[in-house]
Chain A
Amino acid sequence: MDVDAEEGTLLKFAPFQSTVDEGFWHRLSSLKLNKLRLDESPMPITGFLAPCSHKQVPSRLTLLAESLPSEDQKQSSSLPATLNQGNRNRCPVPGILYNTNTLEGFNAIDRVSLLETEAKKIWDDIHNGKVEESSSVLLRFMVISFAELKNWSFCYWFAFPALMLDPAARVVSLRSASQCLSLEQAESLSSACNEWQNLNLDVTAGVLFFLVCIASDSRVTLRHLADWEACMDDGQKVLFGFYDPCNVPYPGWPLRNYLAYICIRWGLEKVHFLCYRETRGFADLGFSLIGEASISVSPEWKTRDCTPKAVGWEVNKGNAKPNFISLAKAMDPTSLAISSA
């Protein structure tokens, strides 16, 4: 876990992983048949995320039936918004779905420019202050798909756009959070994080990214990103914290756009960050990481007109290709008719 020896090496980020619940495809199919029909316009969807809570597997960005609007507009406007609240295991992340009518259309999608478009939205949200209102826009994602409803099969590909710092960030130090903090600080941080989870249950905005303020008396408080200047005035030590879905001793994907935000918004060149992880749903500082990154981007990179390069198409089974799923057995009308009889 100690990367101190390799001081100055490139900071690497573990990519996001996606999973799609069966319910998502069921709802997409019925939306397509009954409402969207041949409409190919991009559709806003919601992904769900939680900090890593099992050491053996990373957390994943999950699509559920609730990721899509309900067919019945009346229900969609009132219910999901309220029912998604208060679920700490389902932090909402904004995404967009490009569902094409044909396989040819799917193959013809210009993935490079689509990724650029989404990355530009993140870039703009950093510049216009939207991140402070709702930090989850830093995790904006995209799915392209083709639903073959004749045989209930689906082609899909996720992208998690990440702005590329130019030149890339370097790692100064990276180690287990419990090694970086005194016992008092660690205890105070743990309870502050556990509290933060519960405090923010009713406010979905601003949960995933936060500031960790460590006072001289070792007392730790968590604050919203917008409070950065106030924290600096208090003379406290500040770490940039985020819910890390990753389970390996490297920071997870969300840190990439977070660093871009910190660099542009606050002009920092040395960034101390906390990759917050849990065990069994409670703060685990032995598993969480604290690191320091050094950023020295060219001045042009910070100007709003610049459109930085982005990466992020998901690698599936080690290859750059879309995922394919067939739900014929689950969606076959004959078997469905029998089971619903």
Chain B
Amino acid sequence: MVLKQKIHEAFKGAVESITSHRTVSAFKEKGVLSVNEFIIAGDNLVSKCPTWSWESGEPNKRKPYLPADKQFLITRNVPCLRRAASVEEEYEAAGGEVLLDNEDNDGWLATHGKPRESKSDDNENLPSMDTLEISKKNTKKNTIQSIPSYFGGEDEDNIPEMDELEDVDNLIETDPATLETPYLVAHEPDDDNILRTRTYDVSITYDKYYQTPRIWLTGYDESRMLLESKRVLEDVSQDHAHKTVTVEDHPHLSGKHASIHPCRHGAVMKNLIDVLMSRGGEPEVDKYLFLFLKFIASVIPTIEYDYTMDFDLGSSSS
């Protein structure tokens, strides 16, 4: 699997280096984007959803066909309150919307409107994720195991000894004006009653080979430490966790990150666009990323990144 992936990456890299990037629009015909269209769609995303921004990334990884200041899109510090698997289970058990049981009882719906909405409300019209040709075998929890933290857990032995603290008067612990943070959570890995607020940095790059946007995930645990990629998979819909999500070098940042493989993105986007057109809508390319992010929400249902809630893709004539 890994070798196959490497060979494919090498092939892809070779093809990318000798082919020129797409300049003719095939957005409606194939669901793909040209470089210019990616910039247009990205600019629109940044202006409608300001938590997203363009970034330039590592200077030595810069792609010449993209502007230096618009290499990729990123939104940081996005909350992820629950594991995708537990939401799926509860959703199935309750047969629909589930109230998350956090202490505030402020009525968070596990559906969060977005991802499930597309499945329940628009089920007849929108193509389901089955177009990704993924079997539904592994939906059960057994795919999720508690893995010791990447940076704690098994590595605990390697932590160097620290001197005990003798000077406490400079610590905020002892200062009466420092609020004791009420949102620190416990760390029992298997206690499902604990609300585990992970956060994610979600980035969108342009994949020149597939001519589509591509999603990358960098996760942080409750104590803001990097999540191992295996644990990132807990936040991916179990239909996709071990199939469409791979761990690869980020094209613009350091290190290895989880990514939703873009091989079927064009086809899914084409289906979504066809549905819109059959309803009499005229899809506009600057809204591509809103539609794309709505589709991605079905893969990562609990990562609450922003995209406009009530977008209307294109001008509906009727």
Whether A associates with B in a native complex is yes
Q: Are A56 and B79 in contact (CB under 8 A)?
A: yes
| B24 CB within 8 Å of chain A | no
Q: Are A88 and B158 in contact (CB under 8 A)?
A: no
18 A-B pairs with C-beta separation under 8 A: A14-B181, A15-B178, A23-B253, A53-B77, A60-B224, A72-B59, A79-B59, A89-B51, A107-B163, A111-B170, A112-B167, A115-B170, A309-B169, A311-B171, A318-B184, A324-B159, A339-B6, A339-B248
Nearest to A151 among chain B residues (CB) is B158
Q: Which of B6, B54, B224, B255 contacts A18 (CB 8 A)?
A: B224
Q: Are B155 and A326 in contact (CB under 8 A)?
A: yes
Q: Are B171 and A320 in contact (CB under 8 A)?
A: yes
Determine the distance from Cα of A44 to Cα of B130 in the docked complex, in whole angstroms: 52
Q: Are B304 and A65 in contact (CB under 8 A)?
A: no
Q: Are A281 and B181 in contact (CB under 8 A)?
A: no
Nearest to B78 among chain A residues (CB) is A54
Q: Are A250 and B179 in contact (CB under 8 A)?
A: yes
Q: Are B177 and A320 in contact (CB under 8 A)?
A: no
Nearest to B75 among chain A residues (CB) is A89
Complex interface bits, A310-334 against B, C-beta within 8 A gives 1, otherwise 0: 1111111110111111110110000
Complex interface bits, A180-199 against B, C-beta within 8 A gives 1, otherwise 0: 00000000000000000100
Considering only residues 20-54 of chain A, those with a C-beta below 8 Å from chain B are: 21-23, 26-27, 53-54
Q: Are B170 and A312 in contact (CB under 8 A)?
A: yes
Determine the distance from Cα of A312 to Cα of B174 in the docked complex, in whole angstroms: 11
Q: Are A248 and B182 in contact (CB under 8 A)?
A: yes
Indicate whether A315 sits within 8 Å of B306 (C-beta atoms), given known contacts A88-B53, A89-B53, A107-B162.
no
Indicate whether A87 sits within 8 Å of B55 (C-beta atoms), given known contacts A250-B179, A281-B306, A282-B50.
yes
Indicate whether A87 sits within 8 Å of B53 (C-beta atoms), given known contacts A75-B59, A115-B170, A311-B171.
yes
| A17 CB within 8 Å of chain B | yes
CB of B95 to closest CB in A, whole Å: 26
| A232 CB within 8 Å of chain B | no
| B225 CB within 8 Å of chain A | yes
CB of B168 to closest CB in A, whole Å: 7
Q: Which of A103, A314, A327, A329 contacts B160 (CB 8 A)?
A: A103
Nearest to B160 among chain A residues (CB) is A103
Stretch touching chain B among A5-13, A125-133, A207-215, A233-241: A5-13
Complex interface bits, B230-246 against A, C-beta within 8 A gives 1, otherwise 0: 00000000000000000
| B91 CB within 8 Å of chain A | no
CB of B257 to closest CB in A, whole Å: 9
| A59 CB within 8 Å of chain B | yes
Most buried by A among B6, B173, B255: B255
Q: Are B218 and A22 in contact (CB under 8 A)?
A: yes
For the residues of A in contact with B, the DSSP-based class is mixed
Q: Are A281 and B151 in contact (CB under 8 A)?
A: no
Complex interface bits, B32-71 against A, C-beta within 8 A gives 1, otherwise 0: 0000000000000000011101111011000000001100
Nearest to B155 among chain A residues (CB) is A326
Determine the distance from Cα of A111 to Cα of B172 in the docked complex, in whole angstroms: 13
Considering only residues 218-275 of chain A, those with a C-beta below 8 Å from chain B are: 247-248, 250, 256
| B89 CB within 8 Å of chain A | no
Determine the distance from Cα of A282 to Cα of B306 in the docked complex, in whole angstroms: 12
CB of A192 to closest CB in B, whole Å: 16
Q: Are A59 and B179 in contact (CB under 8 A)?
A: no
| B220 CB within 8 Å of chain A | yes
Complex interface bits, A137-169 against B, C-beta within 8 A gives 1, otherwise 0: 000000000001001010100000010100011
Q: Which residues of A contact B51 (CB under 8 A)?
A: 53, 89, 280-281
Indicate whether A315 sits within 8 Å of B171 (C-beta atoms), given known contacts A14-B179, A155-B160, A281-B306.
yes
Determine the distance from Cα of A311 to Cα of B168 in the docked complex, in whole angstroms: 10
Cβ-closest 9 pairs across A and B: A281-B50, A26-B254, A56-B79, A23-B254, A12-B179, A22-B255, A281-B51, A311-B175, A14-B179
Q: Which residues of A contact B225 (CB under 8 A)?
A: 323, 325
Q: Which of A53, A60, A153 contacts B158 (CB 8 A)?
A: A153
| B210 CB within 8 Å of chain A | no
CB of B40 to closest CB in A, whole Å: 18
CB of A68 to closest CB in B, whole Å: 12
Determine the distance from Cα of A239 to Cα of B79 in the docked complex, in whole angstroms: 30
Q: Which residues of A contact B224 (CB under 8 A)?
A: 17-19, 60
Q: Which residues of A contact B173 (CB under 8 A)?
A: 315, 320
Nearest to A246 among chain B residues (CB) is B179
Most buried by A among B77, B160, B162: B77
Nearest to B253 among chain A residues (CB) is A23
Given A15-B172, A82-B69, A89-B51, 10 more A-B residue pairs with CB atoms under 8 Å apart are A23-B253, A23-B254, A57-B199, A65-B253, A89-B53, A111-B170, A247-B183, A248-B182, A248-B183, A325-B226
Q: Which of A23, A72, A316 contacts B255 (CB 8 A)?
A: A23
Determine the distance from Cα of A314 to Cα of B171 in the docked complex, in whole angstroms: 8
